[in-house]
Structure 1
Amino acid sequence: MSHDLGRAGDRSMTPTVIGVSRGSVRWVWPSVSLRRLRPVPLLVWVLLLAAQGCDRDPSPNPAAHPANRSVEGIVRLTQQEMARAGIDVLRVKAEPFTVHREFPATVQANANELAEVTTLIRGRVVEVSVDVGKDVKKGERLALLDSADLGLAEGAYLKASARQHEAQLAYERAANLHEHRAISLAELQRREAEMKTARADAREAAHRLTLLGVASQELQRLDREQTIRSDVAIRAPFAGRVIVRNITRGEVIETAQKCFVIADLSDVWVIGNVPEKDVRFIRPDESVKVVVPAYPHALFSGTITHISDVLDPETRTMRLRVTVPNPDRLLKPEMFAMVQVYTATVQEALRVPLAAVQEIDGGKMIFVKRADDRFEPRRVVLGDEQSEHVMVLEGLREGEEVVVKGAFALKSEVEIHRVEPTP
């Protein structure tokens, strides 16, 4: 028996193709008994594997399609790539541009409309009538104290008033007796001196009550009713809003303790710090703009009302005060702010959105669109900023189209292919 599988006469051991799929061929060998298996030459296996490999699709070669679309400093993009990156351009034109300086500042309450309310007498708090954030009127009661010192002072006033009344009656009797020559002139003068002394003591006691915060109406009540009240009211010195409260019911407070802080926030102060190099741009009574992070799209108008005459020796800055109307109470004390002082207006200036400016290798760059969807990276020299725009001093000409959206995608192309910007 021959052992050659490749003979033409032995077809029972020939494989049959039953299916072809992408990249592979399925072969089926006939079912044979193990006793009928014959050694298979190595050449047959090599030919079968080679045939299966030839039927597969060739894998794509990444090197066959280079991704470099930058030639001689120009970035090239297809229409599909531009749409995917969201590229948008704007034709620049010369127009007026206001140059300004910005200085850091903080919002503070107007010190001329600010009061730290204290008590003039020691006492225990029995009632607190207002809380933080409440608007109060002038003379409105803020709190009520019970003071033993006030009771003693009112008692002293009533005693002085009684002695004054007694001395007044004694002097009137002495004057009548002297008129009828019943007493000497010296006795009349002694009674007159006692009356004046008693009157002075009564006035001193009344003045002491006034210094303790007792109103004239309370003095009239004291004279009329002759009763002592040891309660004293803490009242608002002017109309405003309570911004600080430092007392609670039952607390014993001293005369040096700050009980409330009341401020009229209808206008506020914005205190800024101006660097020494920018002092020349500040002028008194000049109108300025104020921006706060809490309202980034709002501009508050104000007036420079004070310029410091000296500089801070540590920070080398000059103190600036701007008075800003605040009718809606939007500006709160201790808010951070920026003071914008306008210095000049350039009649014909080229400006671009800040989003159009990219930074590469420490320099500022914009992308200028040229023909056939080509974009030229160009270094520029920038000037002052205004809102969301910046003035371009060098590197751009009027009428050129600048990429204002999607510039970051072009920057990525530049960094990948190391395109050198044109000077």
Structure 2
Amino acid sequence: MKHKQRLINRVLYLPGIIFLALLCVQITYMNGYAHQVHNKQAKSSVRDPNRLWCNEHNVYEDECFICHPELDAKAEESSRDPNRLWCKEHGVYEDKCFICHPELKPNNSEVPSGELYCEEHRVPEQECGICHPELTASLIPGKGLKVRLASLESAVKAGVITISPNEDAPPVTHNVLCQVSYNMNYLARVTPLTSGVIQKVLVDLGAYVSQGDVLVEIASSEIACAKADYLTAIANETLKELIYTREKGLFEKKISSQRDYQQALAEYQVATNTTNTRRQQLLNYGFTAAEVKEIVETQSSTSVLPILAPFAGTIIERHAVIGEAVELGDTLFSLADLSTMWLELSIPEYLLSSFKIGNTVEASFSSLPGTKLHGDLIWLASHIEEESRMLKARAMVKNPDFLLKHGLFGQVSLLSEQINRVLYVPVESIQRFDKKSFLFVKLSDDLYEIRRVVLGNRRDEKFEIIEGVSIHEKVVVAGSFTLKSEFLKFRLGEGCVDE
């Protein structure tokens, strides 16, 4: 009976328990909803007011790839590897495009998966000029791209003709006028370093002197005072040294005070500095170390100042006269080393590209028949003369037997910078793409290469090739239209496509 009563009580309590459970679930849901609303409100309160908000997808407009799918494409393009080719048709890297390159499929073991190969043109993908003409912009001189013709007979039908580059000696390219001048790096204006009166002149105009030779002697009261000050400073330094030595001994024996010792040390240091200053003053006047030593040994305070030659050369000007008073900076002599001379050139505008520093020149003079001197171009001006429209330039030549004279006019023949023989190709073989020079080189009957080259001077109907091709290669000189058409197929809408 009791058991039955318990069952009845449980049945009566069951609706209440279910009601309480449902009430708890509802309370939990409402709390979660309120929390989400609070988070959204908090997030909206920190949004950037300068950026548009997509209410539909709850993100910024410039980050909503659903409303703006073009943003996804731009992000994908910017993240591509610039060192890997991209297949625009199928939207994958070329080395992963199994449609354009079935040999890359994992089941295909004939071609290694790491290599790209253009099956259509039978050349490596990185060298295929038909599929990837855009690679010409990055070519360096001597490198090129392959161009495969449709058949072995295509070149014959198109009238393609090839020849080997011509090898020839560099010619004399241009002649310009010149004027001889002194080498300014070895030209000196000899001036006194103090005022005085010329007492003796030891050289004359045209004399050859060696470095250190005495040119003139000047009597100057400043020199006498400088010598006397130096001798006085030496005597004072000697006295201060003796006093310092005595005070040091007394101080060590604790007979003299520390103050007397320090004062003697300071006076000795001042005397030493004064002596060094007076000695340097004599050196600045032009006395050598040996002459300064002689002044001390002889105790001489004469007023004579010798003027020495700064380097070996020839006296080309003389203004020194015995008894004349001179001031600091007055020119007494002009000294020049005539073993080398400068040639001052005037180059017309149309020849600017032919002249480079380091070119070899040959100079000849009508007043010196049969004499030809060789030298190097050492300087080019940075501007054109407004009146003459000429570019100033300078060459340096050796002057054996001192034949060249300052002011002499002559003619300079400018030789090619390259001493070795150079290669030439016909003008019609040169192709221009993206403002760069190229030519077609034959590799086989149906395979050619468009190669980057560096051009030199033009000689009649030929261009000098500085870099990019060798004498043993075959260069296309006629029928290049067919090769150019094959090369430009991609730009016309063709190239590697899925058939």
Which has the bigger relative contact order, CA under 8 A and spacing at least 6?
Answer: 1
Letter in 2 for 1:259: L
Partner of 2:253: 180
Equivalent residues of 2:170, 2:415 under 8 A apart:
no
Measured in 2, the distance between the counterparts of 1:207 and 1:97 equals 58
Partner of 1:280: 353
| Unaligned runs of at least 5 residues, structure 2 | 1-168, 422-459, 461-499
Measured in 2, the distance between the counterparts of 1:203 and 1:342 equals 57
Output one character per residue of 1:353-402: Cα deviation in whole Å (capped at 9) or x when no partner.
xxxxxxxxxxxxxxxxxxxxxxxxxxxxxxx9xxxxxxxxxxxxxxxxxx
Partner of 1:128: 201
Letter in 1 for 2:373: F
Measured in 2, the distance between the counterparts of 1:343 and 1:197 equals 66
Letter in 2 for 1:308: A
Instruction: Tell me by how many angstroms 1:317 deviates.
Output: 1.6
Between 187-196 and 120-129, the greater mean CA deviation after superposition: 120-129
Instruction: Tell me by how many angstroms 1:98 deviates.
Output: 4.7
Which has the larger helix fraction?
2
Instruction: Tell me by how many angstroms 1:180 deviates.
Output: 1.4
| Unaligned runs of at least 5 residues, structure 1 | 1-95, 346-383, 385-423
Identity of aligned residues (%): 29
Partner of 1:306: 379
- Where 2:307 maps in the other structure, the secondary structure is strand
Measured in 2, the distance between the counterparts of 1:266 and 1:224 equals 40
Runs of 4+ in 1 over 4 A off after TM superposition: 96-99
Equivalent residues of 2:358, 2:377 under 8 A apart:
yes
Instruction: Tell me by how many angstroms 1:219 deviates.
Output: 1.4
Letter in 2 for 1:317: M
Output one character per residue of 1:280-305: Cα deviation in whole Å (capped at 9) or x when no partner.
11122111111223214422212111
Q: Does 1:218 align with 2:281?
A: no
Measured in 1, the distance between the counterparts of 2:371 and 2:297 equals 59
Count of matched residue positions in the alignment of Structure 1 and Structure 2: 254
The 5 A counterparts of 1:61-80 are none
Letter in 1 for 2:398: P
Q: 1:203 to 1:99 in 2, by over 3 A?
A: closer
What TM-score results when the alignment is normalised by the length of structure 2? 0.48
Letter in 1 for 2:389: R
Q: Does 1:236 align with 2:309?
A: yes
The 5 A counterparts of 1:103-252 are 103-252=176-325
Instruction: Tell me by how many angstroms 1:312 deviates.
Output: 2.2
Output one character per residue of 1:212-269: Cα deviation in whole Å (capped at 9) or x when no partner.
1122122112211222121111111111111111111111111111111111111111
What TM-score results when the alignment is normalised by the length of structure 1? 0.57
Partner of 2:368: 295
Output one character per residue of 1:188-220: Cα deviation in whole Å (capped at 9) or x when no partner.
111100100011111111111111112212211
Equivalent residues of 2:210, 2:309 under 8 A apart:
yes
Measured in 1, the distance between the counterparts of 2:307 and 2:239 equals 35
Instruction: Tell me by how many angstroms 1:314 deviates.
Output: 3.1
Measured in 2, the distance between the counterparts of 1:297 and 1:224 equals 59
Letter in 2 for 1:303: D
Partner of 1:335: 408
Measured in 1, the distance between the counterparts of 2:359 and 2:378 equals 8
Measured in 1, the distance between the counterparts of 2:179 and 2:172 equals 23
